[in-house]
Structures are given as structure tokens and as C-alpha cells.
Structure 1
Amino acid sequence: MNDSKIIQVEERVPLKRGIPLSIQHTFAMFSASVLVPYLLGISPAIALLMNGVGTLIFIFVTKGKSPAYLGSSFAFISPALLVINNPQLGYQYALGGFVITGLIFIAVAVIIKFVGVRWIDIVLPPAAMGPVVALIGLELAKNAAQNGGIVAPDGAKDFSIDPKFAAVFLVTLAMAVFGQVLLRGFAAAIAILISIIVGYCLALAVGIVDFSNVAQASWLALPNFLYPKFSLQAILIIIPASLVVISEHIGHQVVTSEIVGRNLLEDPGLHSTLLSDGISTTLSGLCGSVPTTTYGENIGVMAITKVYSVWVIGGAAVFSICLAFIGKASGLIQTIPAPVMGGVSFLLYGMIAASGIRLMVDEKIDYARPRNLALTSVIFITGLSGAYIQIGSVKLTGMCLATVVGMAMGLLLYVLDHFHLTNDYEEK
């Protein structure tokens, strides 16, 4: 395919070229998308199925005008783990929170249809949104280190680092880091996948891979569907992350618009793309999967290949759905040892944290203004200090509490500005 040739959004691609291009998109999202269910302790098959279904829903609702792949959202890992690890709750109650989150996306899409997006900057201005995004990664740093076998698990009294685990962790991490730096073209887009393959091969060599799941799995199998249960405590823990995903969604649509040379915020419209994400997330929660979000990895593939066709994205979605029903493939994915995922997580979580910092840099936040310094400082300390608020059986802590605090401060500052009471008020 001619490198200078741009394949636009609505253009069809010949099958002999479309198949490898679709598989390429599947590889780009694969490692990150299956990492989320892996960390939450569920089969990746249901996530692969609902990612594919969600992407097809996105294409249908937006009438094929916005190329995007919906993968598993990282924003919900931390609050979901709080719900899962609560002995009175569990994963099914997290699913209830996911369903409500999807309905929130749909409600926000309706609001955006009529009032635009300015209110989001009022609730969580950039000086607040940046640290909230960063906290998603920072809060999970310990989890990555524990998976890598370099930090003692919670509650462990006697702990020593296993040299085999440490070697696999370090090699996987090194491949992920240097793959980002040294690889070019499509190889750079799948550097994370390459690092998993290299780490997995080393894990095989040192004998820490368990193939029992593959032996027990059938060649064809239905994904493990679960129905949601609803608890106010679980819902209140999970829904603060929805604001982060909404902000991420808006950013991805802006970036994609620049890549394809069209204003996707106007046509098909931000309300249309967010509605699609909301329907996908709601359906995922009802079926036992994790929330979905537009994937930056696939946006990167489009930027590199100059292939923006929704037909290629749709092909990737179909491939993901097919993969979900191959039992042996799902079992093989589950044989990936913790040190491999720990090495990948070490970089990915750091990248999530860095994306929050990048947001603050891109927005050119003026930290000479006391409000910005106060917002960022209080949110970071709230999220990292271990502080919590107990309201009955509901406990808000970490990123969830930081988001609530950031929203409260943002709204308060907006009211004070309205009455010209702040010493750095600027009329706009």
C-alpha cells in the first residue's frame, strides 16, 4: 500500500489488505485491553467479546463517521478492585457500578447535545483533571510492583524476591521501555505486545508458566457471562471515574479529528460518540465485562498508517469477537504469569500518570495563580495520603475521594468567581 495514500473514514479497503490491517488494530489494543480483566480476576474472553460488540455499536450509532476502537478502560481498575476486595461486595457489584456508569455517559451525552461541553471545565478544570488522571496510574503503582514480585503482597510477613520472577519482570519491563524508544513503524505501535511475547518466552524458559487452564479449556467455548448486582456503596465508589473517562473521550475525539482532518465534535457530534460509549459500557456491565473507552493505541495506528477506514476498525471488532469464542486462546492468555503483566503494568501505569501531567502541560496551567496550585496540591495529597471519608457503609478513598474533592473545589471556586471574590479573578 502506498505510504502517501490516505484511506478516509468512509472508504472501503480491499479484503486482501483489509484483513491484515484489521488484525493490526486488534494487536494494537490487545495487550492493554486484556490486561484490565486480568487484573480484575476475570476471563479476558468476555472483555474481548464486549470490546468487539461495543466497537460495532459505536460505528452504527455514529453512522460510520468516526473511526474508534472501544477497549477496556483503565480508569475503573482502582475503584473496581476496592469493590471486588470488599468481602461484603465482589465483582458482580462492580458490574452494577459499571451499568450505572454507562447510564451516566448516556445522560451526559444528552446534556452535551443541548448545552455543549463548557460545564465539564467548571466541574473539573484542567488543574484538577490533570492530577485526577495521574492518580489513576499512581494509585496502582504498588499493584504493578506486587505482580512483578519485587514488593511483598499485602499482609505477607515473610517475603523474599524470587530470582526467576525478578528476571522475567525486568526483561519484560526493559522490552516495553526500549520498544517504545527504539522500534519504528507498526512495531512501535505494538511494543507492549512484543514485550509480553518476549517476557512470556523467558517465563517458559525458566519454568514459571502454568498450562492447566489451556489443558482444561475446549477449542470452542462461550465467554463467562455474569449478571450485575447493585449496591449504593459500590456505585458511589465506581462512578467518580466516569468523569475521567468523559474527559479522556473528549480528548480522543479532538486528537482523532486532527488526524483525519475532520471536525468529529460536530459531525457526528460529541453527543453521538459519547452516547455510543455509554451504550457499550452499559451492555458490558449487564453481560459481565468491564467499561469501555476509545483507545489511544488505535488512534496511534491510524496516525502511522494513514488508514482511517471504519471498515478496517469494524474488521478488528469482528476479529476480537471471534477470538472470544476460542476457548484454547482464552486459556492461553490466562497462562501469562504475573511477572510479565507486572513488567507491562509498571510502564502502562506510569504512562497513565504521565498522561495526567501531559494534560497539565498541554493546557499551559499557570501555577503562579493560587487557585491552580491549591487545586493540584490538594487533589494529589488527598489521593495519595490514604485519607478516606466514611458515609455509612460507603468508604471513599484514593482517586475516588480526590475526584469528589476536586469537583467540590472547582464548583466552589466557580461560585466565588461569579461574585468576584477571588483575588485572581479574570473576566472572560
Structure 2
Amino acid sequence: MWRYYEKFKKIYQVEDRVPFKLLLPLSIQHTFAMFGASVLVPILFKINPGIVLFMNGIGTLLFILITKKKAPAYLGSSFAFLAPGTAIIAKDGFEYAQGAFIVVGLLGCLLAYFIYKFGIGWIDLVLPPAAMGAVVALIGFELAGNTVTGGSIGANLMTNTATTSDFFVFAITLFTAIIGSVAFKGFFSTIPILIAIIVGYISAIFFGMVDFTPVIDAKIFTIPNFSSPKFSAEAILSMIPVILVITSEHVSHQVVTSNIIGRNLLEDPGLHRSIFADNFSSALSGLVGGVPTTTYGENIGVMAITGVYSVQVIGAAAIISIIMAFFGPLAALIQTIPGNVIGGVTFLLYGMIGTSGIRLLVDQKVDYSKSVNLILTSVIFIAGLSGLKIKLASIELSGMVLASVVAVLLSLFMTILRKLNLINE
């Protein structure tokens, strides 16, 4: 099993209480970091983001409780369900996608029970360090494209609509985040991402990119759109393969977080607890009309940069998300943040996640003179970055999703060859 090393700066550890005067800005920083990507999923599913913000907050609080306040993680909307979910919605409607979300979540809870009974030794077989490091790195590398091609969510700098002003705002935001991460002192060193967003937002206002009409028109009090699920065997079967993807993603996120905070979260509070919490949140969200949730890479990046790992801050951010679901002007105000501002921040955050994967390979002293390690890392990287797409029924595997599947299957294949003494080592 992996060993973890505490190399990142630490300001507030997981169990530390944060002074009240710092709690609000630190929690808002986490809220801003996850907001863009998390609301994108309901937008693509064509449902109201309010219910998603509400369930993201509830799910995060449940995650903190179930993991005994030992695993700092913010739960946002999962992208792994997009392809099968979109297909189900187009054919049968969102209610049947909800039903499939619930079943997949419950199956994930069942998986957590098996992990509880049989331990985590199997992880070395299905995701050895040479594979795990590559998968972790791909979490950041694949997301990197969203910083420049995400429309209103990302920077949108690779389209013909980008202007010189777009580049200026993007660059101002990015360099504020960079300078803040390495040069700010004291309290300001804990909120470089928040400061970068504020500076970028002010510059966007200066360039005339912010429209406050949605804030003015927003209702003071809103109620999330709750809806009941419906169940279809066909929809459920088309969604089940996502379990492999979300499990690989979850383990990878826990490994990255473990590296950052200097603790082995797979052992304490235990992978069974975190996987149960993640999947229970998804099932609960589907039950009331939301989308599946997952631990968020953006918030992992915030922790890596700031050295603030306190679950108190994560919990406060979750409460802010819940408030946003009911307070229309606040949600509308955050949605006025231009994509190039969000893109400037995520440009750095996603890079930090990718670097964490490379760091895992270094820390584990992966020996690339061994052909097995070289092949595992190489094939997984190319599977995730080449643009290859494989369609199985209504499931399309590409990017990190495909890389995760390849990582597990190829690792198991190498294990079989090793057992048969067919590998030259």
C-alpha cells in the first residue's frame, strides 16, 4: 500500500477550527471554485441548477459526517454520468435518469460494504502506483480543456468570439492567482483563489463584460424544483457501467487528497466510508430531482494551493451552497462571473491536480526500467489524452473515463501474466 508524505504547506489541518473572521472568506473561496463546473451539469441536463446546489450542499455535509470529519472533500455534480444520462433523458425523460442515478448510487453503497468486509488490498492489483499516478494526473489534464473551451463556464479563448479583452481578463485572473499562491503573506496567503476571482471580476466589469440584469430580476426567495424518479430496466442497465468510472475517480481523488494533507484516507476514515458517502449522496440526490455527486478536483486544488484542509471550511461552503439554492440574487450574482475569470482560476487549479499525479509517481518511486510500469503509464496517458472514443450501447468512453477503464483492465491483465510467470522483470 502507498505511503504518504506531507510536503505541502499546512496552515489548517483537517480537524483544526478556523477563526470565525476567516471562515467566511475561506468557505466562499471553495464555493467559487466548484460553482462553474457544478452548475454546468444541470445546465447540460436542462434542469434548474437550484436543486443541484441544494443537494451538493446536503451531500457534502453527509460526506463529512459519514467520514467522521476526517476527509476534507466537497461534493459537486459528477460529469461521469453525462453521456448515459443525456441519452436516457433524450429517450425517456429526466425522471428515468433519476431512477438510474439512484440504482447506481445504491450499488456503489453495496460496493462500500464489500470493501468494508474484504479490505483495500485489491487496489494494488487493479490500480498499482504506475496506473494510479497516471489516472490521477489525467483528472487535471483532461479538465484543462474546460479552462479555454467551456463557453460561459470556461474561458472560451479558443473560439472565434474571444476578444483582446477576454485575454486580458483571463491573464489578470491567472497571474493574480499565481502571485497570490507564492507571494502573499499571512491571511491573504490562505485566499489567493478568492482574491484572484475578485480581481478578475473587477477587471471584467471594467471591460464591460458583466451584466447585472439577472441579479436585478432574480426572485428574493426561490424553491428548488424537486421531482420524483421513475425506473426503467433499460435505463438502469445503460447506466450501470458508470460504477467502474466513478469508483476509479473516487479512489484517485482520495489518493490525491491523502498526498496533500499527509494522511492515508484510504485507511482512516477508510475507503468504505468515503465511497459509501459519495454514492449515498448520489442516490439521495437522484431521489429528489438532483444529479449524482462526486468529490471535486477544483476544491482539492484549492487545498493544495492554500494549505487549508479544515473540514469546518468545507462544511461552511456546503451551507453557502444550500443558501444559494433558496436565495435567488446570490446565485444569480455568482453566475454573472464571466467564463474567462473562472477559466483563469481553473487554469492553475487543474494544473495542480495533474502535478499531484506526477508527484505520486515520484513519491512511490515507480521504476520505469520495468516494462510493465512503462507500459501501464504510457497506455493510460494516451488512452486519456488521444481523443479516442469507444461506444458501448449508450455508454461512450473517452478521456479520463476511458483511461480509468483501461487502467483497471490493463492492470488486471498484467497481474494475470505475472501470476503465470510470463512477464520479464
TM-score range for the pair, normalised by the shorter chain length: 0.7 to 0.9
Q: Which residue of 2 aligns with 1:125?
A: 128
Cα gap change, 1:180 to 1:396, in 2 (>3 Å):
same
**How many angstroms apart in 2 are the aligned matches of 1:304 and 1:134?**
22
Q: Which residue of 2 aligns with 1:71?
A: 75
Distance apart, 1:24 and its partner CA = 4.4
SS in 1 for 2:397: strand
Distance apart, 1:285 and its partner CA = 3.6
The answer to whether the Cα contact below 8 Å between 2:136 and 2:252 also exists between their aligned partners in 1 is no
**How many angstroms apart in 1 are the aligned matches of 2:161 and 2:267?**
56
Q: Which residue of 2 aligns with 1:36?
A: 37
- Write out per-residue CA displacement over residues 242-280 of structure 1, whole angstroms, 9 at most, x where no aligned residue: 31212322553576574xxxx866665442343223222
1:154-303 maps to which residues of 2 (within 5 A)?
159=160, 161-225=162-226, 230=235, 232-233=237-238, 235-236=240-241, 239-252=244-257, 256=261, 258=263, 268-286=269-287, 287-293=289-295, 295-296=299-300
Distance apart, 1:293 and its partner CA = 1.9
Distance apart, 1:332 and its partner CA = 0.7
Distance apart, 1:188 and its partner CA = 3.0
The code of the aligned residue for 1:372 comes to N
Q: Which residue of 1 aligns with 2:138?
A: 135
SS in 1 for 2:122: helix
Structure 2: segments with no counterpart, 5+ residues: 1-10
Distance apart, 1:314 and its partner CA = 4.7
Q: Which residue of 2 aligns with 1:150?
A: 157
The code of the aligned residue for 1:346 comes to F
Cα gap change, 1:238 to 1:183, in 2 (>3 Å):
farther
SS in 1 for 2:295: strand
Cα gap change, 1:93 to 1:351, in 2 (>3 Å):
farther
The answer to whether the Cα contact below 8 Å between 1:168 and 1:203 also exists between their aligned partners in 2 is yes
Distance apart, 1:41 and its partner CA = 5.3
The answer to whether the Cα contact below 8 Å between 1:46 and 1:225 also exists between their aligned partners in 2 is yes
Does 2:119 align with 1:112?
no
Does 2:93 align with 1:80?
no
Deviates most, 196-205 or 311-320:
311-320
**How many angstroms apart in 2 are the aligned matches of 1:114 and 1:335?**
48
Identity of aligned residues (%): 41
The code of the aligned residue for 1:66 comes to K
The answer to whether the Cα contact below 8 Å between 2:108 and 2:243 also exists between their aligned partners in 1 is no
What TM-score, normalized by structure 1, do the two folds share? Answer: 0.79
**How many angstroms apart in 2 are the aligned matches of 1:36 and 1:97?**
22
Of 59, 65, 69, the residue aligned with 1:54 is: 59
- Write out per-residue CA displacement over residues 102-154 of structure 1, whole angstroms, 9 at most, x where no aligned residue: 335423321221111111121121211222222233233333212323212xx
- Write out per-residue CA displacement over residues 222-256 of structure 1, whole angstroms, 9 at most, x where no aligned residue: 23445667454455457514312123225535765
The answer to whether the Cα contact below 8 Å between 1:389 and 1:397 also exists between their aligned partners in 2 is yes
Q: Which residue of 1 aligns with 2:364?
A: 363
The answer to whether the Cα contact below 8 Å between 1:97 and 1:238 also exists between their aligned partners in 2 is no
Structure 1: segments with no counterpart, 5+ residues: 153-158
Distance apart, 1:352 and its partner CA = 2.5
SS in 2 for 1:207: coil
- Write out per-residue CA displacement over residues 59-79 of structure 1, whole angstroms, 9 at most, x where no aligned residue: 4434x4526343326xx4376
The code of the aligned residue for 2:157 comes to I
Aligned residues: 400
**How many angstroms apart in 2 are the aligned matches of 1:34 and 1:136?**
18
Distance apart, 1:411 and its partner CA = 0.5
**How many angstroms apart in 2 are the aligned matches of 1:351 and 1:373?**
23
- Write out per-residue CA displacement over residues 322-345 of structure 1, whole angstroms, 9 at most, x where no aligned residue: 343211001111111121122223
**How many angstroms apart in 2 are the aligned matches of 1:30 and 1:330?**
11
Cα gap change, 1:268 to 1:160, in 2 (>3 Å):
closer
**How many angstroms apart in 1 are the aligned matches of 2:316 and 2:146?**
34
**How many angstroms apart in 2 are the aligned matches of 1:266 and 1:237?**
25
Q: Which residue of 1 aligns with 2:6?
A: none
Cα gap change, 1:163 to 1:100, in 2 (>3 Å):
farther
The answer to whether the Cα contact below 8 Å between 1:33 and 1:72 also exists between their aligned partners in 2 is yes
Cα gap change, 1:248 to 1:97, in 2 (>3 Å):
farther
What TM-score, normalized by structure 2, do the two folds share? Answer: 0.80
**How many angstroms apart in 2 are the aligned matches of 1:393 and 1:8?**
40
The answer to whether the Cα contact below 8 Å between 1:200 and 1:337 also exists between their aligned partners in 2 is yes
Cα gap change, 1:236 to 1:342, in 2 (>3 Å):
same
The code of the aligned residue for 1:136 comes to I
Distance apart, 1:47 and its partner CA = 4.2
Cα gap change, 1:71 to 1:87, in 2 (>3 Å):
closer
SS in 2 for 1:364: coil
Does 2:344 align with 1:337?
no
- Write out per-residue CA displacement over residues 299-338 of structure 1, whole angstroms, 9 at most, x where no aligned residue: 6699559xx6x66765554444234321100111111112
**How many angstroms apart in 1 are the aligned matches of 2:146 and 2:307?**
32
Cα gap change, 1:387 to 1:315, in 2 (>3 Å):
closer
**How many angstroms apart in 1 are the aligned matches of 2:293 and 2:326?**
20
The answer to whether the Cα contact below 8 Å between 2:74 and 2:314 also exists between their aligned partners in 1 is no
Q: Which residue of 2 aligns with 1:378?
A: 379
Does 2:396 align with 1:398?
no
